[in-house]
Structure 1
Amino acid sequence: MRALTVVPEQPGSLRVDTVPDPRPGPGELLVRGLALGVCGTDKEIARGEYGWAPPGRERLVLGHESFGQVLEPVGDFAEGDLVVGVVRRPDPVPCGACAAGEFDMCRNGRYTERGIKEIDGYGSELWTVEADYAVRLDPRLRDVGMLLEPTTVVAKAWEQIQRVGERAWFEPKRVLVTGAGPIGLLGALLGVQQGLDVHVLDRVTDGPKPRLAQALGATYHHEPVEKVLGALEPDIVLEATGVGSLVFDAMAGTGSYGIVCLTGVSPTGRSLTVDAGTVNRELVLENDVVIGSVNANLRHYRAAADALGRADLGWLAGLVTRRVPLDKAADAFEATGDDVKVVLDLAGER
């Protein structure tokens, strides 16, 4: 079979290889890969910035935004079911969080991740997954099932926001989402589903991003963040860019008892001048909270599947702005101006 592979920490090593077909072990499903979402993490690994091959191997099968169809079922799964594989596996020790099923909160860093850290990913024509780490999708999501994994990221973020807010009386009204990429727009989707007044901020002024935000029922902004924050004073900021200056602006720009949830990962090596005293004063005197959120556990996968199942299919399809056949996978790693979500077609013609 064909698979998208890379040598971690070696720039320029991305290629489509022919590798042996996988054989499912006990309790594992055999799945025909249908599609694979490409995200910033995949691009960083392809650039050689990080990544870990399976022990004893040089190359890693890339891809964690999976979507496929069951060929050989196990347990409650049936042949033909549409499934997504969970990305992270708990550490073998395990730490207290992993032992409790909260492996997205692993405390010792010994977790593994499909397509990222020490386990082959889902970027292949066939793959296997333990039945306990597979999530079934509604058949109506056949064209957009690869959006589940990024939706799990914001499902967790919203869960964490709710948990923090409920330390006291909590009835948020307005949320600002910074960034109109897949994470930002899916985060806005979940905010709309909660009945919140959702605002989305991004730099672009035309193309699919403003249209998608507006079609969702959100208000789209492209003005400077200080102006938007000053006008809105949002109860919640869901930060999805990782831009350092935006992070600190958001921390200082919420309403009283505001919550800022960071989902974007900032690059290192860039310095900012910050009035730390003012930031600290506002956080303390207004009971504000800043939290980071990454990855997802099984609970978040199920919540995300439910959210996608309730979403408008036409809107979800609009997030996928480019589909690339597997044999031209390198094209999916080259950005274009109008990209929102780029998807690799794993089941197309050779």
Structure 2
Amino acid sequence: MRAVAVHPLTAGSLEVRDVPDPVPHQGELLVGGLAVGVCGTDKEIVAGEYGWAPPGHDRLVLGHESLGRVRTAPPNSEFQAGDLVVGVVRRPDPVPCGACARGEFDMCRNGRYTERGIKEHDGYASQLWTVESDYAVKLDPALEPVGMLLEPTTVVAKAWEQIERVGSRAWFEPRRVLVTGAGPIGLLAALLGVQRGLDVHVLDRVTAGPKPALVKDLGATYHSEDIDQVTSQVVPDVVIEATGVGQLVFDAMAGTATYGIVCLTGVSAKGRRLSVDAGTINRELVLENDAVVGSVNANLRHYRQAADALAKADRGWLERMITRRVPLERAAEAFTAQDGDIKVIITLDEGC
């Protein structure tokens, strides 16, 4: 079969190559790959900045935003041939730590977890793949054109769960939400905010292309002004930061309502220094009972929450998020940005 692979930490090593067909072990599904999404983590791996091959191997098969169709399933499992499925990305560490032992492997304490397509475990960017039935999530068949959006949706499902848990330390009825960044994570965060009945605002610097219309059609408000202008106008109870831009992070922290919660989902680049008024930031956080929380990855609970959210969403709106579908043999094209890109996917099956 064909797969998209790299030599981790080696820029320019991306290739579509033949690899052996997988053989499912006991308790595993054999899945025909339909598509994988491409995100910033994948681009970092392709650029040689990140990634670990499986032990004893020098190559890593990419792909953690998966979508496939079951070919064979273990007896007495909840799956059967033809089911639409997504594979979970992270696996708990083998020790395990206290969090992993309780199913919270997204909160692993010792860093010994593995991740499909990222860390010591081949990913899903292949024509066939296997996955343990305990780490597969069944999707509504109607989601086939957009099912590869499940994994990024899990990221924001967890973010919203974290926000609501932090908020519940006292009376918490948020009304206004600001999402910074209108990429896939930002748009999906906005979607889940709208599904909660909140007044959602999205800030992004672009004024052309599909992003403003997607936000408007979601029933949210699109902004492209400076963040100080937006926060003074909106005074958000919640901010979901999805850019990782350092200055924007601190500006968002300074612009919330009292008892505001800022959830950071964007990963910032290292080595960029800023001058900040740390005293004022600390004073406002303390005196207004504000909170800042980081959130990354997801566990099985968040996958189920995300599947429910996508099933309730307008499928046409979700399809508009996918701005390019690149065939497997031209996978390298998916890693070069083009104007108007939001979510780019690699199709693994000609029919997808």
- Shorter-chain TM-score: what band? over 0.9
Root-mean-square deviation (Å): 0.6
| Residue in structure 1 matched with residue 206 of structure 2 by the alignment | 204
Distance 2:320 2:164 in 1: 28
Instruction: Summarize deviations over 1:105-156 as a string: whole Å, max 9, x none.
Output: 0000000000000000000000000000000000010100000000000000
Distance 1:76 1:260 in 2: 38
225, 228, 249: which one aligns with 1:247: 249
Distance 2:338 2:291 in 1: 36
| Residue in structure 1 matched with residue 350 of structure 2 by the alignment | 348
TM-score normalised per structure 2: 0.99
161, 164, 167: which one aligns with 2:166: 164
| Residue in structure 2 matched with residue 107 of structure 1 by the alignment | 109
Distance 1:51 1:253 in 2: 36
| Residue in structure 1 matched with residue 29 of structure 2 by the alignment | 29
SS of aligned partner of 1:67: strand
| Residue in structure 2 matched with residue 85 of structure 1 by the alignment | 87
> 1:232 and 2:234 equivalent?
yes
SS of aligned partner of 1:273: coil
SS of aligned partner of 1:324: strand
Distance 2:348 2:269 in 1: 31
Distance 2:67 2:323 in 1: 17
Distance 2:253 2:7 in 1: 38
SS of aligned partner of 1:149: helix
Instruction: Summarize deviations over 1:246-300 as a string: whole Å, max 9, x none.
Output: 0000111000000000000000000000000000000000000000000000000
Instruction: Summarize deviations over 1:47-69 as a string: whole Å, max 9, x none.
Output: 00010000010000001000000
Deviation at 1:73, TM superposition (A): 1.3
Structure 2 counterpart of 1:67, one-letter code: L
Distance 1:331 1:63 in 2: 15
Instruction: Summarize deviations over 1:71-90 as a string: whole Å, max 9, x none.
Output: 00121101000000000000
Percent of residue pairs bearing the same amino acid type: 74
SS of aligned partner of 1:135: strand
Distance 1:232 1:212 in 2: 20
Distance 1:205 1:10 in 2: 36
Q: Which runs of 4+ in 1 moved over 3 A?
A: none
| Residue in structure 1 matched with residue 324 of structure 2 by the alignment | 322
> 1:70 and 2:64 equivalent?
no
Distance 2:166 2:231 in 1: 21
Distance 1:90 1:5 in 2: 23
TM-score normalised per structure 1: 0.99
Distance 2:106 2:225 in 1: 35
Distance 1:122 1:208 in 2: 28
Instruction: Summarize deviations over 1:188-232 as a string: whole Å, max 9, x none.
Output: 000000000000000000111111111100000000011101111
Structure 2 counterpart of 1:225, one-letter code: I
Structure 2 counterpart of 1:168, one-letter code: A
Deviation at 1:38, TM superposition (A): 0.4
| Residue in structure 1 matched with residue 192 of structure 2 by the alignment | 190
123, 127, 140: which one aligns with 2:125: 123
SS of aligned partner of 1:321: strand
| Residue in structure 1 matched with residue 53 of structure 2 by the alignment | 53
Deviation at 1:323, TM superposition (A): 0.3
Deviation at 1:186, TM superposition (A): 0.2
Structure 2 counterpart of 1:51, one-letter code: G
Provide the aligned length of Structure 1 versus Structure 2: 349
Distance 2:323 2:245 in 1: 23
| Residue in structure 1 matched with residue 312 of structure 2 by the alignment | 310
Structure 1 counterpart of 2:327, one-letter code: P
Structure 2 counterpart of 1:279, one-letter code: I
SS of aligned partner of 1:34: strand
| Residue in structure 1 matched with residue 270 of structure 2 by the alignment | 268
Distance 1:115 1:127 in 2: 12
Structure 1 counterpart of 2:324, one-letter code: R
Deviation at 1:236, TM superposition (A): 0.2
212, 215, 219: which one aligns with 1:213: 215
Structure 1 counterpart of 2:45, one-letter code: I
5+ residue gaps, structure 2: none
